[in-house]
Structure 1
């Protein structure tokens, strides 16, 4: 039958070294047994040492990708990655509401895992107003959650309150990913607040490694893939947590410095 294979799309930037962004999303779709498509918003020239150049796609090109994919495919879930500026954010928000790409998983990509801001303030405000309310699931890292909730998130109670703030901003389901940048903790603890009000903590052992590129991308992409397969939000998040932990725990040696996680190790979880 036409379009019988489960399909999902990532709306994101391309990392030339394959470790993060759209390549990581497509790796995650593949190991989840979902056919993955890529709607390109930007591209960066980078390697394991860092990023040397970047290019943002023209808005007409981004709009055309939405139209072209919607005209042919039966996309069951989508996720966002890097939305580089206000123009891209506004375009993606507008176009997503004009097509049926299923539930949307929002990986904010506004602050790095080291705490560096990636968006200018105007773009950040547009992201809050136009992208967050579209999120079926939002998956901020610890620093992004601090920024979005205007809270230090210093205690479990503050984290839980922060998740409710994100729901008040329009996101239906929330995952606030735990700290993993200090190296002093024994576990990485993620807090999950579901649309029905239920909540839970997901914990996995902390692994001290510099092979973590693509962690957030993969986490959100696996959630999108599982939603495309009609699994519940809770089960999708639990699967994503296991996939990412396994991919980090079984490292591969690619590049000289900051390397990718190992998607192969997490296949068929």
Structure 2
């Protein structure tokens, strides 16, 4: 009997459904991967911004992780918003004790609205406790800048940031260039070679959840047995389609469309967003 691919997301909940745990589980489902979750924080959030955050206790986060892994098992894990240093430490401890090898770390620090999602004391813990355990880490330009201590603005800066982040211990680094002023480009680095992934920009504001979904798509690919370059390639194709078909919901930045491929195959549709190639790419 063929085993069912399984992935666990350890992240915050987005009450608006566009990012965080909700985006991760939708992405896993879109890839045909069974999704599980360990919630680190509850956010009161919509397409406009974050109104409040309630952090879950580190012990309860650890209990969620152990509960699902001890029973159901897991093929890949993705971390997102870890909120505070105690949660970072608890997650790192569980990853080590459970022997999790396929760990994708999305170093969530700031929401697209500009709201802080990671406490200052947690950033150091993230670098020293989580990144050394990561198979893949996926910072955007802002997160890469925060991690390395200088502003990353172009391809050469992305390469230098990737080298420095690699020195923190992850086996692969993906620096996402969706915020580049030039053509959007993501850079994959294994400590030896750089691999560039290019994509179009889309003239759409509906990009909420892009970073979460990209990282969880990589985790889904790993759960399916793909190697890292192939998982990143498939995740890039997925997120391009999800942005292109972004959903015009709410008064701010609507979410990307996680089930765009299913809707296309089934002939279903939502109201058509304005998604001309021009302006946005994964974050």
Please state whether the residue corresponding to 1:205 is helix, strand or coil: coil
Q: Structure 1 residues 142, 51: closer, same or farther in 2, change over 3 A? A: same
Q: Is the 8 A contact 1:244 1:266 kept in 2?
A: no
Q: Is residue 220 of structure 2 the alignment partner of residue 225 of structure 1? A: yes
5 Å-filtered alignment, 1:39-58, equals 39-58=38-57
Question: Equivalent residue for 1:190?
Answer: 186
Q: Is the 8 A contact 1:115 1:143 kept in 2?
A: no
Q: Is the 8 A contact 1:113 1:143 kept in 2?
A: no
Q: Structure 1 residues 115, 146: closer, same or farther in 2, change over 3 A? A: farther
5 Å-filtered alignment, 1:84-95, equals 84-95=83-94
CA-CA distance at 1:153 after TM superposition? 2.5
In structure 2, which of residues 190, 196, 206 is the aligned counterpart of residue 211 of structure 1?
A: 206
> Per-residue CA shift, 1:50-83, capped at 9, x if unaligned?
2222211122211211221122112000000100
CA–CA distance in structure 2, aligned partners of residues 47 and 161 of structure 1: 35
CA–CA distance in structure 1, aligned partners of residues 210 and 106 of structure 2: 11
Question: Equivalent residue for 2:96?
Answer: 97
CA–CA distance in structure 2, aligned partners of residues 102 and 152 of structure 1: 31
Q: Is the 8 A contact 1:26 1:37 kept in 2?
A: yes
CA–CA distance in structure 2, aligned partners of residues 121 and 15 of structure 1: 21
Q: Structure 1 residues 114, 201: closer, same or farther in 2, change over 3 A? A: farther
Unpaired segments ≥5 residues, structure 1? none
Q: Is residue 257 of structure 2 the alignment partner of residue 258 of structure 1? A: no
Give the TM-score taking structure 1 as reference length: 0.92
CA–CA distance in structure 1, aligned partners of residues 160 and 114 of structure 2: 21
CA–CA distance in structure 2, aligned partners of residues 139 and 32 of structure 1: 19
Q: Is the 8 A contact 1:107 1:216 kept in 2?
A: yes
Question: Equivalent residue for 1:172?
Answer: 171
In structure 2, which of residues 212, 229, 244 is the aligned counterpart of residue 249 of structure 1?
A: 244
Question: Equivalent residue for 2:67?
Answer: 68
Unpaired segments ≥5 residues, structure 2? 266-283
CA-CA distance at 1:199 after TM superposition? 1.6
Q: Select between 88-97 and 112-121 the one with higher mean Cα deviation.
A: 112-121
Give the TM-score taking structure 2 as reference length: 0.87
CA–CA distance in structure 1, aligned partners of residues 53 and 116 of structure 2: 16
CA-CA distance at 1:209 after TM superposition? 1.7
Please state whether the residue corresponding to 1:17 is helix, strand or coil: coil
Question: Equivalent residue for 1:109?
Answer: 108
CA-CA distance at 1:112 after TM superposition? 3.8
CA-CA distance at 1:258 after TM superposition? 1.5
CA-CA distance at 1:100 after TM superposition? 3.6
Q: Is the 8 A contact 1:112 1:143 kept in 2?
A: no
Question: Equivalent residue for 2:278?
Answer: none
- Tell me the number of residue pairs that the alignment of Structure 1 and Structure 2 aligns: 264
CA-CA distance at 1:115 after TM superposition? 6.2
CA–CA distance in structure 1, aligned partners of residues 236 and 63 of structure 2: 34
CA-CA distance at 1:29 after TM superposition? 0.3
Please state whether the residue corresponding to 1:37 is helix, strand or coil: strand
Q: Select between 40-49 and 145-154 the one with higher mean Cα deviation.
A: 145-154
